[in-house]
Amino acid sequence: MLLKFLTLAAVIAIAWYGFKLVGRIGQQHKQKLTRDEKAARDGVADTVQCPVCDAYIAEDIKSNCGKADCPY
Ligand SMILES: [Zn+2]
């Protein structure tokens, strides 16, 4: 009977901590998604297509794509 009670208590404790952990991860994931969405929204307006390599580059970064005649 005592062992049964201890097992039950352990299961409840694991479930409790599991829920807390999942909730924390879910919250972080949601925050990350919100950040990514914002970045994607911000990026869409400021993206330019490189005429040489057809790659889309964020206008405020303008990183060279590696081609010799890349204007960025
Ligand atoms: Zn390029």
Contact 62, 72 (CB under 8 A): yes
Output the pTM of the full model: 0.38
Phi, psi of 58, rounded to the nearest 5 degrees = -65, 130
pLDDT recorded at residue 41: 67
In the reported structure, the alpha carbon of residue 67 is separated from the centroid of ligand 1 by a whole-number distance in angstroms of 6
pLDDT recorded at residue 44: 54
**Which residues, 6+ apart, have CB-to-CB distance to 65 below 8 Å?**
50, 52, 53, 55, 57, 72
pLDDT of 23-66, one tens digit each? 998 999 888 888 777 766 665 557 788 888 888 877 776 677 77
In the reported structure, the alpha carbon of residue 47 is separated from the centroid of ligand 1 by a whole-number distance in angstroms of 13
pLDDT recorded at residue 21: 93
In the reported structure, the alpha carbon of residue 48 is separated from the centroid of ligand 1 by a whole-number distance in angstroms of 10
